[in-house]
Amino acid sequence: MSTSAIKGQHNSRHFRKTMLVYLAISVFCIVFDRIYALFGHGVYSASMSLMFLYPLLGGALPFLLLWQFAPQEDSVSHYRLYYNCYNSGIAALTVQSLLNGIFEIAGTASRYLIVFVVCGWVMVAAGLVLYLMGLYRYYSGSKLKS
């Protein structure tokens, strides 16, 4: 077995593990919402009820697609930078949805939640754009790791 086959197998497991973690976070968000609703005195929040969609559609789905169609793509230079930036963006959006739900149920608001939204989307976009640029460099022939 060559080292490239071992590396490809490791990368495939990396994407699968990330996908499973995001699925677990989605389940946790659903359970947290149901438990919080028990103490919310009949008041519900769409932000909190739908917060599981960020880790599910923004986290598990992209890594499922990467796991199925591009198992060796994390050999792109600076992959961890893109990976961490993207995951931090998804985390910021999920936390913003949670806090917004808590504030709605409590009957108050915060003007600082927009910071989570803006930073979250900027980090997600930066992670995607930089990853795609890294893929372009990887496939255009300059496969040198910077």
**Helical axes 113-139 vs 79-106, angle rounded to 10°:** 160
Q: Is residue 100 part of a domain?
A: yes
Whole-prediction pTM: 0.84
Q: Is residue 101 part of a domain?
A: yes
Q: Is residue 144 part of a domain?
A: no
Q: Is residue 145 part of a domain?
A: no
User: How many domains are contained in the chain?
Assistant: 1
Q: What is the length of the chain?
A: 146
| Centroid of chain to Cα 5 | 27
Structural domain including 16 reads 3-139
Question: Tens-digit pLDDT profile for the chain (146 aa)?
Answer: 444 444 445 556 788 898 999 999 999 999 999 999 888 787 889 999 999 999 999 999 998 888 887 756 656 677 788 889 999 999 999 999 999 999 998 889 899 999 999 999 999 999 999 888 877 877 776 545 54
Q: Is residue 98 part of a domain?
A: yes
Q: Is residue 146 part of a domain?
A: no
Cβ atoms of residues 14 and 74 within 8 Å: yes
Q: Is residue 90 part of a domain?
A: yes
Structure tokens at 83: 């990976």
Q: Is residue 119 part of a domain?
A: yes
